[in-house]
Amino acid sequence: MSRRAGAGAAIVGIGQTEFSKNSGRSELQLAAEASRAALEDAGIDPADVDGMITFTLDASDEIGLARCLGVRDLAYTTRIPGGGAASVATLAQAMAVVDSGLANTVLIWRAMNERSAYRFGQPIVPASGGIMNIAGAGTGSLLWCMPFGAQTPASWEALTSQRYMETFGVTNRDLAPVSVAQRRHAATNPAAWFYGKPITVEDHQQSRWIVEPVLRLLDCCQESDGGVALVVTGLDRARDLRQTPVRIVAAAQSIPFEVEVISNYYHADLTVMPEAMGTARRIYERSGLTPADMQLAMLYDAFTPQVLKQLEGFGFCGRGEARDFIQGGNIELGGRLPVNTNGGLIGEAYIHGMNNITEAVRQLRGTAVNQVPKLEHALVSCAMAGAILGRS
């Protein structure tokens, strides 16, 4: 092995199940079906998988999934914490694993019945007492929120974003272009739950408050059932496989001091996203690329304000400028920087960020339904992790 560190891995297979509100089968089955599809896409025998990566929150275990796929001899497994912050971090991990030689064929998966089996967006009262939320398990200091009525991801996020919006004069109406753009993209994506259902700014404004004065219903991602999988291998081998490889040009995590995933109230200035800025610094340094080199941004969009803060954190515009940046179709297909061209977690499905990565892969292969022309590099971000993907 003489690969330069961080330069030698590619995404060679993608797979997904249908995205629904009631899959009618187990999360393990969703994981197995998505994984089988990704390996079939790559032209790799599932028996040859030797590395497996998922989220700490994923309910299916590695051995269970390996037993479904007939994985012959697993050489490496790991899980990444932080809820959706794990999504793009799986790519950094897979790249490092492949580069180091610890494993050669890495399967990444995330599968969930977070609409039909449990409600990811809602608090529950467990038999043991207190209040908990599955979405928040292990992702922050939520015990400081629950007794005060902040019991959902929407409320945790809104308490941070309100400061951003107050500081820069951003109103809820100013967030509408994010939802409108993504629902426009979803409307022409047959895999999207909201296929054929675009919305207007007025639709956004008439949707009910989820958390006043920050989030209306149409500022929030979906709760979805479904599975997504990716296959990563070395770039040299990738060139002999079935698909045009998509190169992981750079991938990194950043978790600055006192930053949390969602109950993120304790770092110095809540109007900026230090984790996005840290991730941006690393991936731009490692790639030698700049925001101007990106023709597509896939930004974790559990809630619309996160898209604005990531646009600023990754340097697509200055602090407080995202409100203006997203106007006038700039983030729509055909605009200055198309964002979340599959419809994102708002329009396509909420598979914890993973379906935004597969969209970047389709775009770079040139097979997306909402294809961005002349695409060289795509940014994929979940703020605490990010990657630049490119043509090989």
Partner 1 sequence: MSGTPIRPDPVFTADAVFFWEGADRGELLCERCTGCSRLRHPPRPMCPHCRSTGREAVRLSGRGSVYSWIIPRHPAPIGFAEAPVVVLVELEEGIRLVSNLEGVAFADVRAGLSVEVAFVPTRGGHAVPVFRPRGSTA
| Residues at the interface with partner 1 (CB under 8 A) | 121-123, 125, 129-131, 141, 143-152, 154-155, 158-160, 162-163, 166, 208-214, 217, 257, 263, 265-266, 270
Residue among 76, 164, 284, 300 flagged as catalytic: 300
195 tagged catalytic? no
**Amino acid identity of 227?**
G
95-119 b/e (C-beta count within 10 Å ≥ 16 → b): bebbbeeebbbbbbbbbbbbbbeee
The contacts of residue 256 (CB under 8 Å, 6+ apart) are: 267, 274, 275, 278
Give the span between the Cα atoms of 345 and 289, in whole angstroms: 26
Query: In angstroms, what is the minimal distance from the CB of 81 to partner 1?
Result: 17
Query: In angstroms, what is the minimal distance from the CB of 156 to partner 1?
Result: 9
Strands 105-113 and 51-55: parallel
Give the span between the Cα atoms of 306 and 356, in whole angstroms: 14
Name the residue nearer to partner 1 (CB basis): 214 or 346: 214
Query: In angstroms, what is the minimal distance from the CB of 278 to partner 1?
Result: 17
**221 and 301 in contact (C-beta within 8 Å)?**
yes
Query: In angstroms, what is the minimal distance from the CB of 204 to partner 1?
Result: 16
30-40 b/e (C-beta count within 10 Å ≥ 16 → b): bbbbbbebbbe
Alpha-carbon distances, residue 282 vs 237, 249, 256, 275, 293 (angstroms): 26, 12, 13, 11, 15
Name the residue nearer to partner 1 (CB basis): 152 or 224: 152
Residue among 76, 164, 284, 350 flagged as catalytic: 350
Name the residue nearer to partner 1 (CB basis): 122 or 244: 122
Residue 69 CA, distance from chain mean position: 25
Name the residue nearer to partner 1 (CB basis): 171 or 290: 171
Query: In angstroms, what is the minimal distance from the CB of 148 to partner 1?
Result: 5
Name the residue nearer to partner 1 (CB basis): 157 or 312: 157
User: Angle, to 10 degrees, between the axis of helix 172-187 and the axis of helix 304-313?
Assistant: 100
Q: In this structure, is the dihedral angle defined by the CA atoms of residues 168, 259, 315 and 294, taken in order, positive or negative? A: negative
Give the span between the Cα atoms of 355 and 345, in whole angstroms: 8
Query: In angstroms, what is the minimal distance from the CB of 121 to partner 1?
Result: 8
Alpha-carbon distances, residue 200 vs 169, 176, 189, 204 (angstroms): 22, 8, 18, 6
Name the residue nearer to partner 1 (CB basis): 9 or 154: 154
300 tagged catalytic? yes
Which residues are designated catalytic? 300, 350
